[in-house]
Amino acid sequence: MTSSNLLVRKLEGFHPFSADDRKFLESHCRPLHEIPAKHDIIREGDTPDGVVLILSGFACRYKLIAGGRRQIMAFLVPGDFCDFQVFVLKHMDHSIGTLSRCQVVRIKREAILLLTERPAIARAFWWASLVDAATLREWLVNIGQRHAEERIGHLLCELLVRLEAVGLVRHNAYTLPISQIDLADALGVSVVHTNRMLMALREYDLVELAAREVVVKDVEGLKSFSDFNPNYLHLESREQPSAI
């Protein structure tokens, strides 16, 4: 599976494509651009002229507040758009930055409009946008209502499911190329507290962390511990047969 097919694989989880739809979508997943880690793809206040697709690496949506503090509002993984609707805005109301080295595709406004003329692709884009909104709601619940250890467990479960959907999980293990600072900024806790939470999950024998790889040793146990229900990711449509 090539990198560009990650988007096709993700979107076909929401709506089946014909072979012609797949070919048309893949034709717009080039050329690739490489962006180094800790680099802004687009900043708050900029005028967007298209959509960026992440093909490898991790990025995030974030806002900076007084004193330079950062709140991460979403992690973006391979196959994710950096806000499908942003090109209709006059100015960005948040920033999107890389957390690791990323390969991306920049899709111009005109190409997005052409893609959405195809009903199956348009429905898949719409569904992906609704899932982004649902994920943000779940993150609000996670930060506002769950205990700190549950928050990080919930996030690790979410990433397991999302990365599995694009074929980037093997034996319940996946690469997590981000720092504990990034995790802390996403979960609304200190770096010291983040480290303690990760140690607690290890002690409970739920996960193993080494060399920026997460191994979920007890998937059902971690889901139960973290009160994780994947319904907000709306992946049940993967059971539908793909169109020919």
Give pTM, 2 decimals. 0.89
Q: What is the CA radius of gyration of the chain?
A: 18
The mean pLDDT of the chain is 89
pLDDT (tens digit, 9 = 90+) per residue, 66-103? 888 999 999 999 989 887 766 677 788 999 999 999 99
Question: With 80 as the cut, is the pLDDT of residue 61 above it?
Answer: yes
What pLDDT is attached to residue 238?
A: 46
Averaged pLDDT, 144-148: 93
| Beta carbons within 8 Å of 169's beta carbon, 6+ residues apart | 160, 163
Instruction: Point out which residues pair with 175 in neighbouring strands.
Output: 213
Beta strands in 24-82 (DSSP E): 33-35, 40-42, 50-56, 59-65, 69-76
DSSP code at position 242: P
Averaged pLDDT, 138-161: 96
pLDDT (tens digit, 9 = 90+) per residue, 158-204? 999 999 989 999 999 999 999 999 999 999 999 999 999 999 999 99
What pLDDT is attached to residue 240?
A: 44
The confidence band for 49, taking pLDDT boundaries of 50, 70 and 90, is confident
User: CB count, 10 Å around CB of 32?
Assistant: 14
Question: With 50 as the cut, is the pLDDT of residue 3 above it?
Answer: no
| Beta carbons within 8 Å of 135's beta carbon, 6+ residues apart | 74, 158, 232, 233
pLDDT (tens digit, 9 = 90+) per residue, 197-244? 999 999 999 999 988 999 999 999 999 999 999 999 988 654 443 333
Q: Are 61 and 40 in contact (CB under 8 A)?
A: no
What pLDDT is attached to residue 236?
A: 63
What pLDDT is attached to residue 235?
A: 81
Share of the chain above pLDDT 70, in %: 93
Long-range contacts of 231-236 (CB under 8 A, 24+ apart): 232/131, 232/134, 232/135, 232/137, 232/138, 233/131, 233/134, 233/135, 233/158, 233/161, 233/162, 233/165, 234/14, 234/127, 234/130, 234/131, 234/134, 235/13, 235/161, 235/165
